[in-house]
Structure 1
Amino acid sequence: MSRIWIYLFSALCALVLSGVYQVKGVEVLTSSELEAVNGTNVRLKCTFKSTHPLSEEKTSVSWSFQPLRKTTAEMIFHYQESAYPPTKGLFKDHAVWSGDVMNGDGSITLQDVQFNFNGTYSCQVRNPPDIQGFASEISLRVVQKVSFSEIGILAIAVGGSIGIILLILIVYIIVRVFRRYDNDMGVEMEDHRSKDQMLCERTSDK
């Protein structure tokens, strides 16, 4: 009798383990940091991949927001078949759907961003039987004006240096061309003078 129970227990464990093994997480990707100018619109891009076919009925996207210096997050947007934007709170009339579930896009757009939108935004996707274990996060920084990164400053400096070098080279070529033209004109005028002088001498000899 004990052997029967052992066999049943082993079979049950095998079924459970096989089921757990087949359930895989949805791969969710976002940029880690994003900067936006106060009063403009910014798109929080979130793309995802699933091992199972996507569908409007089953696939869902949820966005949450965690303000700076706070440890708790609040749900601000949900999509499943249709968009469910916030009806109250900080993001009312600011968060709109801009994704396409069937193409693996769960993005939203924040309109007229404010300074109190600074914080961490989490994108979570579910597509049963795939489950999402970890949400992908974006750290948004709202600024008065766009600041240039060190790479951007370096690119501007290099581009400016190349532009100055090209300008000097163009001026040098133009000067050389004009000098050559002046020299050719001088030689041609000297030839004309020599010919005129020779004609005068021949005329006087006659």
Structure 2
Amino acid sequence: MYRIWLQLVAFLGGFVVPGLLQVSGMEIFTSSEVEAVNGTNVRLKCTFSSRSPVQAQSVIVSWNFRPLNQGPEESVFYYHETSYPPTSGRFKDHAVWSGDIMRNDASITLHEVPPTFNGTYICQVHNKPDVHGRNGEIILKVVNKVTLSEIGLLAAAVGGACGIILLILGIVVLVKFCRRRRSETNIEMHERERKDPTVW
């Protein structure tokens, strides 16, 4: 009975494992979060890798948008051999193709982003017959001004501290130099007074 179960598992595994390998064939890479200043352009970078050879006619790219209020998804952009920008809706005249399929790049650029573009952008890439894989998702935050990242704040703090230390060291060296100069001047004057008998 044990051998029968092993044979059954091995038999079913022959179907399941190739299916899993096929599902994991397409990989999509995006940033998790992007920040853009209100009214500026922002590139939403999406790259991919596929087990199947990449050809211009075999790759299909679609970008969708999920608003912050969890409303229905909207189409942002579609690409198959050529770009198909939106002809209506909030992304009309805002979304343009900036990718290169032969370099595994499916990126788009949004022009003059307003606050209504806040939300999640979903990048989907299919390379027939490799159509399986997880989508890439980017959260776009449209802000009135750029905020410093934690790394930027840390760099500014370290730079400021180094600047203050250098300033203090400079002042200390200058004070010591002035004191030594004054001391040397006083010694010279005493020497002159001692050597010159006319000085009272």
TM-score bin (small chain) = 0.7 to 0.9
Partner of 1:59: 59
Alpha carbons 1:23, 1:129 under 8 Å: kept: no
**Letter aligned with residue 35 of structure 1:** E
User: Once superposed, what is the RMSD of the aligned Cα atoms?
Assistant: 2.7
Partner of 2:76: 76
Q: Determine which structure has more spread, i.e. the larger CA radius of gyration.
A: 1
Identity over aligned pairs, percent: 51
What pairs up with 1:1-206 in 2 under 5 angstroms? 20=19, 23-24=22-23, 25-195=25-195, 197=196
Partner of 1:169: helix, strand, or coil? helix
Partner of 2:156: helix, strand, or coil? helix
Give the alignment's TM-score, normalised by structure 1. Answer: 0.78
Q: Distance in 1 between matches of 2:13 and 2:166?
A: 72
Q: Distance in 2 between matches of 1:162 and 1:21?
A: 54
Q: Distance in 1 between matches of 2:34 and 2:50?
A: 25
In structure 1, list runs of 5 or more residues that go unmatched.
1-12, 202-206
Q: 1:19 to 1:168 in 2, by over 3 A?
A: closer
Q: Distance in 2 between matches of 1:97 and 1:39?
A: 19
Deviations 1:111-137 (CA, angstroms, capped at 9, x unpaired): 100010011100111112212332111
Q: Distance in 2 between matches of 1:44 and 1:35?
A: 10
Alpha carbons 1:86, 1:92 under 8 Å: kept: yes
**Letter aligned with residue 158 of structure 1:** V
Q: 1:130 to 1:169 in 2, by over 3 A?
A: same
Q: Following superposition, which runs of at least 4 residues in structure 1 exceed 6 angstroms of deviation?
A: 13-19
Deviation at 1:149, TM superposition (A): 4.2
Partner of 1:64: helix, strand, or coil? strand
Give the alignment's TM-score, normalised by structure 2. Answer: 0.80
Deviation at 1:151, TM superposition (A): 4.9
Deviation at 1:154, TM superposition (A): 4.1
Q: 1:29 to 1:174 in 2, by over 3 A?
A: same
Alpha carbons 2:27, 2:133 under 8 Å: kept: no
Q: 1:16 to 1:115 in 2, by over 3 A?
A: same
Alpha carbons 1:63, 1:124 under 8 Å: kept: yes
Between the two proteins, the alignment pairs up a number of residues equal to 187
Q: Distance in 2 between matches of 1:125 and 1:140?
A: 19
Partner of 1:61: helix, strand, or coil? strand
Alpha carbons 1:124, 1:132 under 8 Å: kept: no
Q: Distance in 1 between matches of 2:21 and 2:162?
A: 57
In structure 2, list runs of 5 or more residues that go unmatched.
1-11
**Letter aligned with residue 130 of structure 2:** D
Alpha carbons 2:50, 2:130 under 8 Å: kept: yes
Alpha carbons 1:67, 1:120 under 8 Å: kept: yes
**Letter aligned with residue 33 of structure 1:** E
Alpha carbons 2:28, 2:133 under 8 Å: kept: no
Deviation at 1:18, TM superposition (A): 8.2
Partner of 1:8: none
**Letter aligned with residue 145 of structure 1:** K
